[in-house]
Amino acid sequence: MLGYKSNNNVVYSSNYHVVWCPKYRRKVLVDKVAKRLFELIPKAASKYRAEVIALEIRPDQVPLLIEVDPQFGIHRLIKCIKGVTSHDLRKEFASLRTRLPSLWTNSYFCSTVGGAPLEVIQQYVENQKKV
């Protein structure tokens, strides 16, 4: 099944567009910090059996396209990635400890990606009672 993954219970294709920002939207994700973050995110994602499809590091935000096991959940994954990256970056770069009380905001943007348009799924569900 091309484009799908599975675990013991689920066959899935759960792709998400996620964006989060540093606290106070500070432009701290530059130079060595950005380079290190670019290494840490895929490493953290793979630890939780997620796959980074696309990643961009901007000075004041992190846009990410990622696939995650739906049984693990996107919220849990992002919480783990933000925790791991914040811990490692603040340990390595003293400037992040002095400029910010915590590296990331608590919030993030998340949107599902791919699959059929909503109208097609709605029609499919409605037509199931006729089968």
**24 has catalytic annotation:** no
CB 37 within 8 A of CB 62: yes
CB 110 within 8 A of CB 74: yes
């905001």: which residue's tokens?
A: 105
Name the active-site residue from 4, 12, 108, 124.
124
How many Cβ atoms sit within 10 Å of the Cβ of residue 115? 11
CB 37 within 8 A of CB 47: no
Catalytic residues: 124
